[in-house]
Amino acid sequence: MRRVVVTGLGMINALGHEKESAFKAMCAGECGIDTITIFDPEAYSVKIAAEVKDFDPATVMPPKEVKKADRFIHFGIKAAQEAMADANLPEDTDMERFGISAGSGIGGLPSIEKNSIILDNRGPRRISPFFIPGALVNMLGGFVSIEHGTKGPNLSSVTACAAGTHAISEAVKTIMCNGADKMLVVSAESAITGVGVGGFAAMKALSTRNDDPKHASRPFDKDRDGFVMGEGAAALVLETYEDAVARGAKIYGEIIGFGESGDANHITTPSLDGPARAMKAAYKMAGEPKIDYVNAHGTSTPINDKNETAAVKELLGGKENCPPVSSIKGQIGHCLGAAGSIEAVTCLMAMRDGIIPPTINYETPDENCDLDYVTEGARKAELNIVMSNSFGFGGTNGVLIFKKI
């Protein structure tokens, strides 16, 4: 199998419109969660989210084209542009051997909500002709591939909160199996809408700490009461190790392991067994190395955080063998289908800079969550191998292991 490395990164979330500012704010323990401004949340039981503010889609695509794409696609285009510029690919790159692997958990929910209202109030003839092509999940990859001229495989993963991670593993498989030489991975989400927030709130999945949004998302803390919705996107350029070395590319890291599993348990409640098996598969593929850091799924929900803690301990043979762990969802909320790729970018930047971003808002220990969660600010550390976890509704799990080169 061919070795696969990462040579370009891009990221946008509630802490910044590009990777460097977002990562710096993340490591500083800043929080992008606040009262919702995208719509009026007054009538909702949940009034908080981690919005990407002051973003103008006309900065990433022609103003006349903006209406043809949903907000999640705008974010994805932004992240992809940054990643491609960062990769600094040569002009003679074979674009027929360059593919796309996209991911989103929900896709164009704002467009679905808007056009459903138009249908109800004004009739079917007033539905936008751009509604369907602007809302489909795979159109994220479609728009990005058209912009950059990639003519290799065009794939999409729609696996809830594991979509960003699965998009990366699908790209790795494609390169390993010689289906492409390079892949641009992009995942994005923008579901902070009335129906999105109302739907998750109806499930009792969200934190209701409306009076204290900066402390609402509190992974692994005993008083956690649900996740906070976030939005954003991330992109990674993947290519063969040989190609990257031959062109003198900057290499952020190598993907040495990935694991996937299904819970076969419950549509929304996560199991312990499923995540543990995904971790074990990735760990085995990677050669069972010493892991220096785990970027946890860490949603700030009662069951996930407890189960994930137990799964990490099961993987590594007990608490005493576990490395530092952190979750960035306290800072940027849960970006759903974009979370996995945002966290992958975070892992690679953490390895680059030798720093672990903190788990903020951890105040009261939980006896079921007893690992080293890096709670006293960012921590300097030599990071050679890191693991990133993603688990989604429907019992779909994905795990990635990166190695510094």
CA separation, residue 306 to residues 121, 286, 347, 367 (Å): 45, 25, 22, 9
Asked whether residue 291 carries a pLDDT value surpassing 90, the answer given is: yes
**For a pLDDT cut of 70, what percent of the chain falls above it?**
100
- Return d(Cα 381, Cα 404) in angstroms, integer: 13
Task: Report residue 2's pLDDT band, with 50, 70 and 90 as the boundaries.
Answer: very high
Cα 312 from chain centre: 20
Domains of the chain are 4-246 (3.40.47.10), 256-396 (3.40.47.10)
Let me know: does 278 contact 260? Beta carbons within 8 Å: yes
- Return d(Cα 145, Cα 149) in angstroms, integer: 5
- Look at residue 76 in the predicted model and tell me its pLDDT: 98
Asked whether residue 1 carries a pLDDT value surpassing 90, the answer given is: no
Q: What is the mean pLDDT of the chain?
A: 98
Q: What is the pLDDT of residues 301-359, one digit of tens each?
A: 999 999 999 999 999 999 999 999 999 999 999 999 999 999 999 999 999 999 999 99
- Return d(Cα 237, Cα 348) in angstroms, integer: 12
Q: What is the pLDDT of residues 76-105, one digit of tens each?
A: 999 999 999 999 999 999 999 999 999 999
Task: Report residue 381's pLDDT band, with 50, 70 and 90 as the boundaries.
Answer: very high
Asked whether residue 379 carries a pLDDT value surpassing 90, the answer given is: yes
* Residue 384 three-state SS: coil
- Return d(Cα 8, Cα 95) in angstroms, integer: 16
- Look at residue 316 in the predicted model and tell me its pLDDT: 97
Q: What is the pLDDT of residues 37-79, one digit of tens each?
A: 999 999 999 999 999 999 999 999 999 999 999 999 999 999 9
Please tell me the pTM assigned to this model. Answer: 0.97
Q: What is the mean pLDDT of residues 193-200?
A: 98
Catalytic residues: 161, 297, 334
Q: What is the pLDDT of residues 209-259, one digit of tens each?
A: 999 999 999 999 999 999 999 999 999 999 999 999 999 999 999 999 999
Q: What is the mean pLDDT of residues 149-156?
A: 98
- Return d(Cα 202, Cα 184) in angstroms, integer: 36
- Return d(Cα 130, Cα 70) in angstroms, integer: 9
- Look at residue 198 in the predicted model and tell me its pLDDT: 98
Number of helices and strands in the chain (H, E): 12, 14
